[in-house]
Structure 1
Amino acid sequence: MDGMAKVDCPFNRASETLGNSVELQHVNLRVPDQALATAFYITGLGLTRDPYLMTGLDNMWANAGVSQFHLPTGPAQVLRGVVGLVTPNRELLLHQLHRARRWLEGTRYAFAEAEGHVDVTCPWGNRIRVHEPDAARFGRIHLGMPYVQLDVAPGTLHGIARFYDQIIGAPAAMRDGALHVLVAASQHLVYRETDAPQPEYDGHHIQLAFADFGGVHAKLAGRGLISREDSEHQYRFIDLIDPEDGRRLFQVEHEIRSMTHPLFRRPLVNRNPAISNNLYAPGHEALAPAIPPA
């Protein structure tokens, strides 16, 4: 309005803007053995088995902050890349990983300390990189899944960036030699080029939620990219293409949910793995996924 004084803004408002993708809810990897999966994800990594859903012997959902691993029984699937985790206590993590060895001998299970993180390999070869909380890198994540890194062929990053920008509506930017696609608050899909030969895609998937659920569906369907229609709240696609020429650049199934999906932002239980029957303090059983206020 005329006559109104201009108000100076001291904040970077653009840094708080999300794109069309508003949730990175899970990474789905089939596992051949639920007992070994429990030893790795629950005992070794210190995550929490969802107490409400998938409580049988043929599937397990493992909570990591606001995200999950979905682990249905079947032939092993191996992500072509690395899943990043944040847990609050490196010393406790190493204790848990050492303790889990007794159940995981004879598998591909391994872990190694590095500066700033611990590299862990699951019994079937999936790579997990575990960091401590770092507000500069991971925002307020105290426990969670800040990124899923995917290994792609040389020369594909610019096309993948165009795919997420023009079709998905998710901001993508190059950083540290890799493409970072913002898919939720402080959570990214990271695409990194590699010359190393990659195995054939085995069907593992990631799950995102879109604000413009219908608009993206129309763009994907118009290019013949919808791979499955699950329900009124959910569809899937596998191929990432370059919008300029239609060339397929990478394959990983995206399970896409709407913000009206009944499971959207369902609150997840996260236990404090430092608590045991021998080291117990009432009221400290739960672990908050966010860094406490300063």
Structure 2
Amino acid sequence: MDGMTKVECPFNRAAETLGNSVELQHVNLRVPDPLLATAFYISALGLTRDPYLVTGIDNMWANVGVSQFHLPTGPAQVLRGITGLVTPSRELLLHQLHNARRWLGGTRYAFAEAEGHVDVTCPWGNRIRVHAPDAERFGRINLGIPYVQFDATPGTLPGIARFYEQIVGAPTEMKDGALRVLVAASQHLVFRETDAPLPPYDGHHIQLAFADFGGVHAKLQERGLISREDSDHQYRFIDIVDPEDGRVLFQVEHEIRSMTHPLFRRPLVNRNPAVTNTVYAPGHEVLVPSMPPA
């Protein structure tokens, strides 16, 4: 229009854009022994058992910032890759990991320090990489799951990228030799190629929420990829295929929820594991999962 002045934007607006996936809510892994799972996820990692939902002895939800581990009792499942965590204190984490040895001896439990992270193995072989908060790498996460990394067969990354971009509507990028799929604010699925043979897929799953819940369902259904219809608010798929030729490139169950799902963005309780009955300060029991204002 005549007389209009173009306003210069000093911000990178693209950096704040999410794709169709808006939540990475949980990683679901069966565990054979809920007592050992408590020792590992709650005591060793310092996470918080959800106090409101699934409080029986056959399942446990462990809160990690805005995300969770879901840990139903059953034959062990092992994610084919690494789950990344951010926790605010490396020193406290190492203290907890050392203390947990008394409960977890005789299992596959192990941990090793590395530059910039601590590698931890759960009693059944799941690999977890724990980082300190880092705004440049993980956004403003103080406690959370910034990524789930999967081991992929060589040559599959371009097709996996096409799947998430064309069918799911999630932005992807290649970075440091791996494919990164943006699935929520500061949260990614990462696919990294490996020459090591992959074990058979054992049924573990992740949960995402889609803004275009129905649109993605239609694309998946057209290709025969829907594996389960759970409810009005939820469906599942397992196969990641190349849209160009339909080849199955990777398998992991995706539990997909709508933004109208009753559990979408449910606030989660996160305790401060530094506060105990012997080291206590009133008002400091809660751990805030995001960094303070810049």
Task: Give the TM-score of the pair, scaled to structure 2.
Answer: 1.00
Letter aligned with residue 30 of structure 1: R
CA distance in 2, matches of 1:289, 1:22: 18
CA distance in 2, matches of 1:219, 1:199: 29
- 1:241 matched residue in structure 2: 241
- 2:214 matched residue in structure 1: 214
The reply on whether 1:224 has 2:224 as its aligned counterpart is yes
CA distance in 2, matches of 1:4, 1:289: 43
CA distance in 1, matches of 2:50, 2:277: 20
1:155 deviates by 0.3
- 1:166 matched residue in structure 2: 166
The reply on whether 1:85 has 2:85 as its aligned counterpart is yes
Structural mapping, 1:136-215, within 5 Å: 136-215=136-215
CA distance in 2, matches of 1:170, 1:293: 28
Provide the alpha-carbon RMSD of the alignment.
Answer: 0.4
CA distance in 1, matches of 2:38, 2:113: 22
- 2:58 matched residue in structure 1: 58
Letter aligned with residue 110 of structure 2: A
The reply on whether 1:114 has 2:114 as its aligned counterpart is yes
CA distance in 2, matches of 1:55, 1:127: 25
CA distance in 2, matches of 1:68, 1:226: 24
Secondary structure in structure 2 of the residue aligned to 1:18: coil
1:71 deviates by 0.0
CA distance in 2, matches of 1:195, 1:156: 12
* Unpaired stretches in structure 1, ≥5 consecutive residues: none
- 2:266 matched residue in structure 1: 266
1:203 deviates by 0.1
Letter aligned with residue 34 of structure 1: P
CA distance in 1, matches of 2:109, 2:130: 15
Letter aligned with residue 231 of structure 2: S
Secondary structure in structure 1 of the residue aligned to 2:93: helix
CA distance in 2, matches of 1:233, 1:99: 42
CA displacement 1:80-107 (0-9 Å, x = unmatched): 0000000000000000000011000000
CA distance in 2, matches of 1:90, 1:163: 37
CA distance in 2, matches of 1:89, 1:45: 11
1:3 deviates by 1.1
Bigger CA drift: 265-274 or 1-10? 1-10
CA displacement 1:97-130 (0-9 Å, x = unmatched): 0001100000000000000000000000000000
Structural mapping, 1:33-44, within 5 Å: 33-44=33-44
Provide the aligned length of Structure 1 versus Structure 2: 294
Secondary structure in structure 2 of the residue aligned to 1:170: coil
- 1:12 matched residue in structure 2: 12
What percentage of residue pairs aligned between the two structures are identical? 84
Letter aligned with residue 127 of structure 2: R
Structural mapping, 1:26-37, within 5 Å: 26-37=26-37
CA distance in 1, matches of 2:216, 2:38: 36
CA distance in 1, matches of 2:231, 2:116: 42
CA distance in 2, matches of 1:276, 1:237: 42
- 1:48 matched residue in structure 2: 48
Task: Give the TM-score of the pair, scaled to structure 1.
Answer: 1.00
CA distance in 1, matches of 2:3, 2:127: 59
CA distance in 2, matches of 1:279, 1:4: 62
CA displacement 1:173-211 (0-9 Å, x = unmatched): 000000000000000000000000111000000000000
CA distance in 2, matches of 1:107, 1:98: 15
1:31 deviates by 0.1
* Unpaired stretches in structure 2, ≥5 consecutive residues: none
Letter aligned with residue 190 of structure 2: V
Letter aligned with residue 91 of structure 1: E
CA distance in 2, matches of 1:208, 1:82: 17
1:2 deviates by 2.6
Letter aligned with residue 198 of structure 2: Q
CA distance in 1, matches of 2:34, 2:104: 12
